[in-house]
């Protein structure tokens, strides 16, 4: 970063306290002699109210928590920067989207939607994907999700949707889960949810990592250029690592083993210099093409198929710095879809229009009044001058006697700014009509894009969607609700409804399924980028392991940017065949296969016997195999795979299962390690799933 681009970091540094050998003080700066004991009448006497230090310390503690977000309560953030590949001046006058020399600082917060702050990272849920750009023209917030559509079309139904998906009022159960009666009752009674439900039942709701999920602005926005011409635009974030998911059984186990799985993954990646990268893509439509499709472009339950409106890649976001304090930054960051800059404007999407009200309203409650923009993480790098004063937690000290507009006593300062000098001017759109509580008929189609999604999935993805429906509806106690859901999805795809019905004791309706609007290969995760970079491997070994083999393996993995943990029986240094000691990062007690992308078993007889002495070792490998992960074993390591039932192919033809690599002593070398890394890059070997069906 150059001096100019470093403004936000310097701004945050100004608020950062560096406690390096400093004297302990009260909040008033008074040096504290004793922070171990409260002031008492004698060693065993009552505490005295005179102890101002105790009162200050305890009062602060009692008020440390602020109301958590009603939605997106569990989140994790990081700092980064945005670079523009090519100027978009043809479409917008936003400076950070027209000047390719700029490096715009930003802050990203990823989140789940339904759960509380204390819930798990890996629940089945939508993921928030909110980006705050600190531009020279003010803060711009792109507040989106990892899915391009939403459950509802009109914001007036948002409280109803959230009430339905949240834990049920009588018992506050279940936490961070949509698998209960009220949510599916809402779905069955509000068929506009059908398209979004298809996304939520897919692997998109179970991301392997925040670094491996797409982001979307969801709504149709408007670009406005210097000439005042408008274009409709949708925003996309494309992860450089590809789009990959966990499997359902895995997510539930991770929730117990490491509920912080996704946030820990992001933190460690940045700490290790594996900076996550997302490319910014835009879909552009001319205003005259607004009504050229068989869906309404302002309907937030619809996407623009990439095959019809291509995504243009125009820039890149790099996340390169972790937070210094989770509360001060991630918890206090305040996003608002209404934080925009010249060159970006809104449309009449009724869900977007409602969001323009909701965000400011909720920040007033969460952050204690109207001055939340002065909190360091929210403060723009653009200068702030206006006539707003006072309010709770006011940080700015404004001199002078005027706090109104217009004024003569201060020469009418601060002054309005003409649009041609950078002042924001709303897009001049002609709007007319009668006041009416209604929705356009163009929003009536609830099923064709849900059908498109289903028919665009691979057989593997379809099977996972069916299993998701069966699990979720299997938790619904009301048979009436279960049947209504099947009725709804009978209108999406007959085959889908039939498979759901078989699992939950319902009856599908024949002959009512919508014809898919189109097939969109871009919707399938199977078509996305595959790379082994930043994946995590468990290297299992015991006493007598071949030192040369393990050292060569670790070198090859490091070169491929793959992280490896040595997993042994205990956290005790393990001696190799030449006497070399290696320090395990995990033991069989502290590790779990669900926390890794692949497993490698180093196979010297003594070491394999040692691993087999603990039944957990076979369970470790078996679970990785059942989750379709890459497994490699050398020499005697095949015995551990045999104990885990991970050697023989279900086809019974004597071939090894897909994604299982074996090597004898003479075959261990660079080519074997390359094959292992290439197999890891496949993410999972899904064909095992089809073999077992």
Indicate which residues carry an active-site annotation: 72, 145
Asked if 250 and 208 count as a contact pair (C-beta separation under 8 A), the reply is: no
Phi and psi torsions of 644, nearest 5° = -95, 5
DSSP string of 176-198?
T---SHHHHHHHHH-GGGHHHHH
> Three-state SS for 358?
helix
Quick one: tokens of 594? 């669900």
225 vs 641: CA distance, rounded Å: 62
The Cα–Cα gap between 340 and 342 comes to: 7
Residue burial 220-255, b: 16+ Cβ < 10 Å; e: rest? bbbbbbeeeebbbbbbbbbbbbbbbbbbbebbbbbb
167 contacts 114 by C-beta, under 8 angstroms: no
628: left (phi over 0), alpha (psi -120 to 50) or beta: left
Rounded Cα distance, 199 and 148, in Å: 9
DSSP conformational letter for 629: -
Q: How far apart are CA 540 and CA 614, in angstroms?
A: 12
* Main-chain dihedrals φ then ψ at residue 680, nearest 5 degrees: -60, -35
- Assess contact for 213 and 525: CB atoms under 8 A: no
User: What is the spatial distance between Cα 283 and Cα 340, in angstroms, rounded to a whole number?
Assistant: 19
Do 179 and 123 touch, CB atoms closer than 8 A? no
Q: For residues 176 and 166, what is the distance between their CA atoms, to the nearest angstrom?
A: 7
- Does residue 12 contact residue 376 with C-beta atoms inside 8 Å? yes
Residues 6+ apart with CB under 8 A from 36: none
Question: Closest Cα to residue 380, out of 129, 109, 106, 144?
Answer: 106
Per DSSP, the residues of 374-429 read GSTTT--SS----S----TT------SS--SSS-STTTTPSPP--GGGT-------
Nearest to 117 by CA among 158, 178, 69, 180: 69
């Amino acid at each position: 970063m150059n001096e100019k681009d470093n403004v936000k970091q310097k701004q945050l540094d100004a608020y950062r306290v560096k406690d390096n050998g400093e004297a302990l003080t009260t909040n008033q700066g008074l040096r504290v002699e004793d922070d171990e004991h409260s002031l008492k009448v004698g060693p065993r006497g009552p505490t005295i109210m005179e102890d101002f230090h105790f009162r200050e310390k305890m009062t602060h503690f009692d008020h440390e928590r602020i109301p958590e977000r009603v939605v997106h309560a569990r989140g994790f953030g990081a700092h980064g920067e945005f670079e523009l590949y090519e100027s978009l001046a043809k479409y917008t006058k936003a400076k950070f989207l027209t000047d390719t020399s700029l490096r715009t600082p930003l802050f990203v917060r990823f989140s789940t939607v339904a759960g509380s702050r204390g819930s798990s990272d890996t629940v089945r849920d939508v993921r928030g994907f909110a980006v705050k750009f600190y531009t020279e023209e003010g803060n711009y917030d792109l507040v989106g999700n990892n899915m391009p559509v939403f459950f509802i079309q009109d914001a007036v139904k948002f409280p109803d949707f959230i009430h339905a998906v949240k834990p049920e009022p009588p018992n506050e159960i279940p936490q961070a889960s949509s698998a209960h009666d009220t949510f599916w009752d809402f779905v069955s009674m509000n068929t506009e949810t059908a398209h979004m439900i298809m996304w939520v039942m897919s692997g998109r709701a179970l991301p392997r990592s925040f670094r491996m999920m797409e982001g979307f602005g969801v709504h149709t926005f408007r670009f406005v250029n210097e000439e005042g011409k408008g274009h409709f635009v949708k925003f996309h974030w494309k992860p450089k690592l590809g789009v990959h998911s966990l499997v359902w059984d895995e997510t539930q186990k991770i929730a117990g083993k490491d509920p912080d799985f996704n946030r820990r993954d992001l933190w460690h990646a940045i700490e290790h210099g594996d900076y996550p990268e997302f490319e910014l893509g835009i879909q552009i439509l001319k205003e005259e093409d607004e009504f050229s499709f068989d869906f309404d472009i302002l309907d937030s339950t619809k996407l623009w198929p990439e095959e019809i409106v291509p995504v243009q890649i125009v820039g890149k976001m790099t996340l390169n710095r972790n937070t210094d304090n989770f509360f001060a930054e991630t918890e206090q960051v305040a996003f608002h879809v209404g934080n925009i800059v010249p060159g970006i404007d809104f449309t009449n999407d009724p869900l977007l229009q409602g969001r323009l009200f909701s965000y400011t309203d909720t920040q007033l409650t969460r952050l204690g009044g109207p001055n939340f923009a002065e909190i360091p993480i929210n403060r723009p790098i653009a200068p702030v001058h206006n006539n707003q004063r006072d309010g709770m937690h006011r940080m700015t000290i404004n001199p002078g006697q005027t706090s109104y507009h217009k004024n003569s006593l201060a020469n009418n300062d601060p002054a309005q700014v003409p649009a041609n000098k950078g002042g924001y001017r709303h897009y001049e759109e002609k709007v007319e009509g009668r006041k009416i509580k209604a929705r356009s008929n163009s929003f009536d189609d609830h099923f064709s894009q849900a059908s498109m999604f289903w028919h665009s999935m691979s057989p593997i993805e379809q099977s996972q969607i069916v299993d998701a429906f069966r699990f979720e509806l299997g938790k619904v106690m009301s048979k009436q609700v279960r049947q209504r859901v099947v009725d709804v999805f009978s209108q999406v795809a007959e085959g889908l409804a039939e498979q759901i019905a078989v699992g939950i004791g319902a009856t599908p309706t024949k002959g009512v399924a919508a014809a898919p609007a189109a097939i969109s290969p871009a919707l399938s995760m199977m078509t996305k980028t595959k790379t082994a970079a930043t994946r995590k491997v468990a290297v299992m070994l015991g006493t007598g392991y071949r030192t040369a083999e393990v050292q060569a393996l670790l070198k090859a993995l490091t070169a491929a940017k793959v992280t490896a943990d040595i997993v042994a029986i205990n956290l005790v240094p393990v001696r190799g065949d030449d006497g070399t000691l290696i320090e395990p990062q995990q033991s069989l007690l502290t590790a779990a296969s669900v926390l890794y992308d692949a497993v490698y078993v180093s196979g010297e007889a003594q070491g394999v016997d040692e691993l087999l002495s603990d039944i957990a070792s076979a369970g470790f490998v078996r679970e990785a195999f059942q989750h379709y992960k890459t497994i490699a074993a050398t020499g005697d390591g095949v015995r551990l795979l045999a104990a885990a039932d991970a050697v023989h192919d279900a086809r019974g033809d004597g071939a090894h299962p897909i994604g299982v690599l074996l090597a004898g002593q003479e075959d261990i070398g660079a080519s074997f390690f390359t094959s292992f890394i290439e197999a890891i890059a496949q993410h999972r070997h899904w064909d095992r799933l089809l073999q077992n069906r």
